[in-house]
Amino acid sequence: MAVPETLRTTYDRHRPILGEIRRYVADTLRPFCDDRKYIFLDRIKDIESLSEKLESGRYSSWQDLDDLYACTVVIPVPEHEENVLDRLVSSFEQVDVKGREQAKKAPEVFRFDGLRWYGRMRTEEASRRQPGMGDIVFEVQVLTAFEHALALVTHDLVYKADNADWKRLRLAAQLKAAVEQIELIIVAFDHAADSVRVSPWPDTTVKAKIIEGFKDLISLGLLPDSLEPLSWRRFGDNVVHLIQSFERNPHNLSNRVDDLLNAAKIHLEAPESPGAPLSGSLFRYVLSLVQNPLVKGSLDKFVVVDSTNLTELYGIKNIKKRFEFPDEPKF
């Protein structure tokens, strides 16, 4: 599209400054986002998009523009917004902020209402860089993961469409309503889960028994806290897979879990018992219990990641199926 020459001249003059601002903001926010597993995205507004924006007649001067550079921080749920705001306020000079609660809308209306923060470089920081950097206001949108996904899906379908279609706008509003409902459920997940009607499912019941049983052993002080797994759910899955390697009858699965927990309790409570090792993992301790006569188990068909402490700490010997590591590279 044709762009006014005056706009192109001004844009080209400011383009290097925008590039410096982009680098500075990204260097400040990207590590913060990476540490918290937020998504960081940014862009410099292209001249064609800027030209169309100015054609709206809503901007009277170059100083009114607040998104020549803009970035987006994608967070899991709205509760993380305060964390991002604190970082923005401590890193830059705040010019304005438009929160979710400030966007007036009727209860039956569903439209974009994500948090938008506007700021500029601090005067002291800008003074050490090229002239003009402290004058540019930039925008930071803080969106939830679902809002970001919705924006990606609907942006080209609706807001950059080649027509004005009531049906498309209506459908986009319905999708936004669905996103709001999903986020409400996530925020109140534990409370909402209490209202879910339970259907019997043996696999889940057995895993719950495993997790609760070993958590009890830790709470009683029979197992050290250092053995607590990173994910209890994954630990439950792994123990079930282990038992299934030597117990093929699914109806006996719960009984084998009882045997395993009973063997652990007897071993740990025995006066002469050294207890479980303080290092290693809870699952490796479970591997050692399979050899206990009370469990009637075997490791013969289960793939084990071998190591020296498997024998020294856990007394596990004669492993039939070892995980195969690649050979050392030859240079």
Over residues 51-76, the pLDDT tens digits come to: 988 988 888 999 899 999 999 999 99
* DSSP annotation of 324: P
The fourth-level CATH superfamily of domain 5-186 is Beta Polymerase, domain 2 (3.30.460.10)
Return d(Cα 176, Cα 194) in angstroms, integer: 26
Task: Give the pLDDT band of residue 215 (cuts 50, 70, 90).
Answer: very high
99 has pLDDT over 80: no
Token duo for residue 199: 């259907």
Sequence-separated (6 or more) residues with CB below 8 Å from residue 290: 242, 246, 260, 297, 298, 299
Token duo for residue 139: 């925008």
Report which secondary-structure segment, H or E, holds 69.
strand 69-75
163 has pLDDT over 70: no
Return d(Cα 30, Cα 41) in angstroms, integer: 9
139 has pLDDT over 90: yes
Residues forming CATH 3.30.460.10 domain(s) in the chain: 5-186
Taking a C-beta distance cutoff of 8 angstroms, is the pair 277, 285 a contact?
yes
Q: Is 43 left (phi over 0), alpha (psi -120 to 50) or beta?
A: beta
Task: Give the pLDDT band of residue 3 (cuts 50, 70, 90).
Answer: confident
- Nearest one of 252, 229, 228 to 240, comparing CA atoms: 252
What's the pLDDT at 266?
93
* DSSP annotation of 138: E
Token duo for residue 249: 């009858």
